[in-house]
Amino acid sequence: MPASSPTPAGSVEHQVRHRAARLEDWVHEVRERWARRRGQVPTVVPYTGYGSTDWARIFCRVLLSRPVDPNEPSKRRRRRGEQGIRGWRSFTSVPIGDVSVVIEVGGERIEVLADRGGVVDTRVPVQLAPGWHQATLHTEGSKAVEAPIWIVGPDVHFGIISDIDDTVMVTALPRPLLAAWNTFVLDEHARIPTPGMAVLFERLVRSHPGAPVIYLSTGAWNVAPTLTRFLSRNLYPAGPLLLTDWGPTHDRLFRSGRAHKEENLRRLAGEFPDVRWLLIGDDGQHDEELYARFAAEHPGRVAAIAIRRLSTGEAVLAGGRTKAEQHGADDVPWVSASDGSTIADRLADVGML
């Protein structure tokens, strides 16, 4: 599958950009000039990638930030590093679009362009052994950083794709006020893990060595560092986050989170044709419908579907719940429960554990 690379200037997409996208680009340009005059420098923010033994999908984002003075006291440098814990700071950082990023991995070196939001999502042909690897990333004027990559072995035939909000983490995302509070104010220490889900994931990866764990969410790339720290702090297995970039696109006022999930599910099916997926989500949004459609479109590619049932209060605040029985398929096991421990027991009953 081709890399998700930025559209070059002069293309049809560039010429017909939505008015809101053009306005957003102008705002970014003004903020970039202002930030550079204040001495901010390009910084590459690495995200976890994944791949097979002959390619890797690399993620990062290029932002402007204040340089760290090596002469500053260590306590002050540490405090500055911890400022990124609060999500709102990620949203106020200035992205740099259409900038070249150099990727070095497995002896290969390529140069790609970040998109208009500063995001790099690209596929690199490279020979790597199964397991964890590191890609080195940098752009002109930035320090080199390392992005972890999980390489799936050819003998792996089971993988996990999981939603985040209200599945591994209790956020009640559809509630506008609480969603804004969680995103812009609270740090990862204040976010609440879903009871029993971390133990469920640990049991799954122990039962299926080498299985990739991929977190698919409609959240923005801005909160990726916070989500990564939350997952690590609460003992979830490490894995790539497949997030999106909020704001207008070339032809829409707002990006479609649902389309984002559908596209990545189909992409993963194409990238790993021998892997059967356990799909984990909740009944407060569209996970059941999306997973059922994916299972119908890709017969034999879904090992099971596990749905976390929201509590009555969570369901009310989330705008209601869907019905698992409406989406069930005879050839795909469906299990549901309100906590990870019970989901684990029901997955064990259908042979997943």
Percentage above 90 pLDDT, the chain: 52
Q: What is the mean pLDDT of residues 163-179?
A: 71
CA–CA distance, 67 with 74 (Å, rounded to integer): 15
Architecture in CATH of 12-151? Sandwich (2.60)
Q: What is the mean pLDDT of residues 317-340?
A: 68
Q: DSSP character for 322?
A: -
CA–CA distance, 19 with 178 (Å, rounded to integer): 30
Q: Do domains 12-151 and 158-349 have the same CATH topology?
A: no
Which CATH code for domain 158-349? 3.40.50.1000
Average of per-residue pLDDT values in the chain: 80
pLDDT per residue as tens digits for the range 61-79: 998 877 765 655 555 444 4
Higher per-residue pLDDT: 80 or 163: 163
**pLDDT on residue 349:** 95
pTM above 0.85, yes or no: no
233: tokens are: 């702090």
**pLDDT on residue 108:** 93
Q: What is the mean pLDDT of residues 129-146?
A: 94
Q: Using alpha carbons only, how large is the chain's radius of gyration in Å?
A: 20
Domain ranges of the chain: 12-151, 158-349
> Which range, of 112-126, 157-171, 285-299, 307-321, averages the lowest pLDDT?
307-321
Higher per-residue pLDDT: 171 or 106: 106
Non-local (6+) Cβ contacts of 24 within 8 A are 247, 248
Most confidently modeled of 23-32, 132-141, 285-294?
Answer: 132-141
Percentage above 70 pLDDT, the chain: 67
Under the banding of pLDDT at 50, 70 and 90, the label for residue 291 is very high
**pLDDT on residue 101:** 96
**pLDDT on residue 66:** 74
Q: Hey, CA dihedral for 94, 28, 255, 14, is it positive or negative? A: negative
CA–CA distance, 345 with 351 (Å, rounded to integer): 10
- Residue 161, CB-side half-sphere exposure with 13 Å CA sphere: 28
CA–CA distance, 289 with 262 (Å, rounded to integer): 11
Has residue 131 got a pLDDT over 60?
yes
Has residue 14 got a pLDDT over 80?
no
Has residue 134 got a pLDDT over 70?
yes
> Which range, of 24-28, 247-251, 297-301, averages the lowest pLDDT?
247-251
CA–CA distance, 231 with 158 (Å, rounded to integer): 21
**pLDDT on residue 163:** 94
Has residue 13 got a pLDDT over 80?
no
Under the banding of pLDDT at 50, 70 and 90, the label for residue 110 is very high
Q: What is the mean pLDDT of residues 121-145?
A: 95
